[in-house]
Chains A and B, each alone.
Chain A
Amino acid sequence: MRRFVSITMALALVVGVAACGDGDEAGAGTEVRLAGLWPLSGPNATQGTDVLHGAELAVDIVNNDHPGVDLPLAPGAGLPGLGGAPIKLITGDTQGKPEVGAGEVDRLVTTEKVAAVIGSYQSGVTLTASQRAERLGVPFVNEASSSVALTERGLKWFFRTGPTDETFARSMFDYLRARQAKGERIGTVGVFHSNDQFGNDGAGVTEKVAAEIGLPVVVNVAFDPTAADLASQVTQVRAKNPDVLFVLAYTDAAIKLMKTLDQLAYHPPALLAYGTGFADPAFASGLGELADGVSTRAAWSGEIAAKRPAAKTVAELFQQRYGAPMTENSARAFTAVLALAQAIDAAGSVEPAAVRDALRALDVPGEKTIMPWTGIRFDGKGQNTGAAGVVEQMLDGRYRVVHPADLASTEAVWPMIRARQ
């Protein structure tokens, strides 16, 4: 009798395991829970929602069969390394506030039992949220915060798929050199930045790279992001009249700045922005032709998508699903989620340490992403060494790639005011 019971139990176990291995309905409970932490309300909710859409699309591509998309995990349903387990994205709202972001990490990890956290758009929020994830021992994958400081903290659980401000700054100074070679007089640089984590770090990096290259920074203005009026701050820049103005600002201040430049009839020969507000669709739609001539660094663009088949398909899926074009924010979130999914798949486990080790070992070639990168490989600090940027210029209401030369789709217009004539 005893033997009968043990044989039956052994059989039941084998059948049970086999059922899980087949990934049929019985295995549906083994979903991989991932947290997406973004500003879904508050002043940056537009961008936060855009980021969320990119992540949702990546989850959809992993969970459902997409034979037409030439990306890892797209064909077939779920994660094959975990018996076809689907990903479930659980969102948290940071409201754009660092303290809320950190609190949400606690909730998502302890109550929602997520295997990893993806987030959280703004550098200042990413800073505190990833610190909390570090303490809880959960992998944190950042998609779009570019503050250099984030990967300089010696964290063990932090990974950044996107480029840093330093990578971006180098792309932009590279562009300035190319313009100098074409005979443009570029002797001085100005920096105009919001007085927060993102702005201060970006301004520091710009000064550092400018010093390396030997271009003097003649004016560095930190404005209060909540200030009602930027006229005096712009007057200060105007007094020094730099040949190129670098700008770090979120949407509201970016629009305010462009209007103020116009009202004071001050037009620097070139304005180079660190994406963010300048990459928000509301920037171009709200300003009309006043936006023409502005340049920005970008991690992704529709034009680059056209050169990479998978990116083109993904951008079309995005447009179909959300009725809006894919942006660099959504593309970066898409890439971060897919990279994390690949790591979990390779680990064959949702155990945090296994996922972290798989992230460290991750090696995705550039053509297996939708980004203009050489690939995804993390260095000892958790920074993706393959990430890179391009420079775009707003011409006739849309951004065109003007640098580097091999990806450029049009010649840059210099000085920028000529773009409005």
Chain B
Amino acid sequence: MNDLLQSVVNGLLIGAVLALVAVGLTLIYGVMDVINFAHGEMVMLGMYTSFFAWSLLGLDPLLSIPLAGVSIALTGALMYVGAVGRVLGSSPLAQVIVTFGLQVFLRGLAQFLWTPNTRTVPRPWAVGLRWEIGGVVIGGPQAIMAVGALVATGAVAFFMNRTRLGGAVRAAGEDPAAASLMGIDPRRMYALCWVIAGFATGVAGALLMNSYSASPTAGVSFALMAFVVVAFGGFGSITGAALAGLLVGVAQGVVGLYAPSYTLAVALALYLVVVLVRPQGLLGTR
């Protein structure tokens, strides 16, 4: 029983990070109808930013959160201006191929620049923390990753739902023509989506460096789970992504306890079931 509780808690903690990773993906899809296959690579770049902030500047991963967030936000803007923005309006296939191309390019670039070596921050500050509540152990890095991810996810949701600029982004997503009549430049709003997605993945990357290792393929498993989370929560829904992230995390945690080699299979099965039974996802509208 205790182990089950422990697994649920583990699942919730990692699920919060999955939610943050998925937020950017669902935002770009919801507003622009573009599937970003390079999303995991943005997380990977965030992890490297945090790693180098530690190895070159001696910054703890927690202190490098703003740096990683801003750097990857800029990277996101660059990806939009340099590549994705140029194929908007052309065939959907071109959009898929451009983000897929970015994925291959960024992964290759990381391997070229930083070698395939696994890079780890040996003892981040959070490693020293640990809490035990009723037999359930919560490690510092896990807890901090989860809390940080929830705060960042909440910030993105607040921005999108409660601010004028967030409203403008949503308007550009719902009806670009009407939005431009209201003085909103849809292309700027699209660029802003990439900036927000970059910020979220950068923050996620820095949080992950409390416990994970950076390598050119480090983002792959998170991106895969982000796709599952987005499909589960509903394409375009930030709240859905947050909820689905936690659920997928718990599902994986509990399955990991009883059938440890099937965690990925279960997540992908979940994805298939959602696509077949409720294609719009939990909170999706389309």
- What residues make up the interface of A, taking CB atoms closer than 8 Å to B? 41-46, 195, 221-224, 226-233, 235-236, 238-239, 251-252, 255-256, 259-260, 262-266, 280, 282, 285-290
Interchain CB contact under 8 A, B116 and A45: yes
Q: Are B213 and A255 in contact (CB under 8 A)?
A: yes
Residue of A42, A223, A231, A252 most packed against chain B (CB within 10 A): A231
**B116 engages A41 (CB within 8 Å):** yes
Q: Contacting A262 at CB < 8 Å: which of B6, B127, B220, B254?
A: B127
Q: Closest A-chain residue to B258, C-beta based?
A: A236
Contact call A227/B221, Cβ cutoff below 8 A: yes
CB closest residue in chain B, given A194: B261
A229 and B10 form a contact (CB under 8 A): yes
Q: When the two chains form the complex, which single residue of A226, A233, A280, A290 contacts B256, counting CB atoms closer than 8 Å?
A: A233
Contact A252 B118, beta carbon cutoff 8 Å? yes
Which of these, A232, A262, A265, contacts B257 with CB under 8 Å?
A: A232
Partner of A259, one of B137, B141, B217, B254: B141
Q: In chain A, what residue has the closest Cβ to B225? A: A228
Contact B220–A226 (Cβ < 8 Å): yes
Residue B263 lies at the interface, judged by CB distance under 8 Å to chain A: yes
Partner of A223 from the list B120, B141, B260 (CB cut-off 8 Å) is B260
A280 proximity list for chain B (CB < 8 A): 118
Query: Is the Cβ of A288 less than 8 Å from the Cβ of B123?
Result: yes
Is the Cβ of A263 less than 8 Å from the Cβ of B118?
A: no
Closest 5 CB pairs of A and B: A263-B139, A286-B120, A232-B256, A288-B122, A45-B116
- Give the distance in Å from the alpha carbon of A113 to the alpha carbon of B114 in the complex: 34
1/0 per residue B208-244: CB within 8 Å of A? 0001110101001110110000000000000000000
A282 touches B256 (CB 8 A): no
Q: Is the interface of A mostly helix, strand, loop or mixed?
A: helix
Q: Is B142 an interface residue, CB under 8 A from the partner?
A: yes
Q: Are A46 and B221 in contact (CB under 8 A)?
A: no
Q: Name the prevailing secondary structure of the B interface residues.
A: helix
**How far is B132's CA from A236's CA once the two chains are assembled, in angstroms?**
18
B261 touches A222 (CB 8 A): yes
Given the complex of chains A and B, what is the CA–CA distance between A243 and B260 in angstroms?
21
Could you show 15 A-B contacts with beta carbons less than 8 Å apart? A45-B111, A227-B264, A228-B14, A231-B6, A231-B13, A255-B118, A259-B211, A262-B127, A263-B130, A264-B6, A265-B139, A282-B119, A282-B213, A285-B122, A290-B122
Q: Is the CB of B253 within 8 A of A232?
A: yes
Residues of B within 8 A of A227 (CB): 221, 252, 256, 263-264
Give the contacting residue for B252; candidates A45, A232, A256, A285; CB below 8 A. Answer: A232
Cβ contacts under 8 Å, A46 to chain B: 115-118
- A224 in complex: contacting residue of B120, B217, B261, CB < 8 Å: B261
Which residues of B lie under 8 Å from residue A233 when comparing CB positions?
256-257, 260
- Give the distance in Å from the alpha carbon of A41 to the alpha carbon of B115 in the complex: 9
Contact A232/B10 with A46-B117, A224-B261, A286-B118 known, Cβ cut-off 8 Å: yes
Question: In this assembly, does B7 line the interface, its C-beta being within 8 Å of a C-beta of chain A?
Answer: yes
Determine if B122 and A195 form an interchain contact, defined as CB atoms under 8 angstroms apart: no
In this complex, what residue of B is CB-closest to A229? B14
Tell whether A42 pairs with B260 under 8 Å between CB atoms, given A231-B10, A285-B122. no
Chain A neighbourhood of B140, CB < 8 A: 263
Judge whether A231 and B14 touch: CB under 8 Å. yes
The residues in B between 184 and 218 inclusive whose CB is less than 8 angstroms from any CB of A are 211-213, 215, 217
B30 located at the interface, meaning its Cβ lies under 8 Å from any Cβ of chain A in the complex: no
B122 pairs with A286, CB closer than 8 A = yes
Q: B251 to nearest A CB, angstroms?
A: 11
What residues of chain B lie closer than 8 Å to A230, measured between beta carbons? 256
Q: Which residues of B contact A286 (CB under 8 A)?
A: 118-122, 213
Given the known A-B contacts A252-B213, A286-B120, are A195 and B261 also in contact in the complex, defined by CB atoms under 8 Å?
yes
Q: A233-B256, A287-B122 are in contact. Are A224 and B263 (CB under 8 A)?
A: yes
| A239 surroundings in chain B (CB, below 8 A) | 3
Identity of the chain B residue whose Cβ is nearest the Cβ of A193 in the assembled complex? B261
* Closest A residue by C-beta to B120: A286
Within 8 A of A (CB), among B118-148: 118-123, 127, 130, 132, 137, 139-142
Which residue in chain A gives the minimum CB-CB distance to B253?
A232
Complex-state Cα separation, A46 to B137, whole angstroms: 34
A286 to B215, CA, bound (A): 12
Check if B215 sits within 8 Å of A252, measured CB to CB. yes
Distance (Å) between the CB of A288 and the closest chain B CB? Answer: 3
Q: Which residue of B lies closest to A287 (CB)?
A: B122
Closest to A40 in B: B116
Beta-carbon contact of A265 and B137 below 8 Å: yes
The answer for the CA separation of A263 and B123 in the assembled complex, in Å, is: 12
Q: Is the CB of B260 within 8 A of A265?
A: no
Instruction: Report the bound CA distance from A259 to B123 in whole Å.
Output: 10
Question: Complex formed: what's the CA distance from A233 to B252 in Å?
Answer: 10
Q: For B119, B123, B139, which residue has the most chain A Cβ atoms within 10 angstroms?
A: B139
Q: Which residues of B contact A226 (CB under 8 A)?
A: 220-221, 224, 264
- Point out the residues of chain A lying under 8 angstroms from B120, CB to CB: 255, 282, 285-287
CA A252 – CA B10 in complex, angstroms?
19
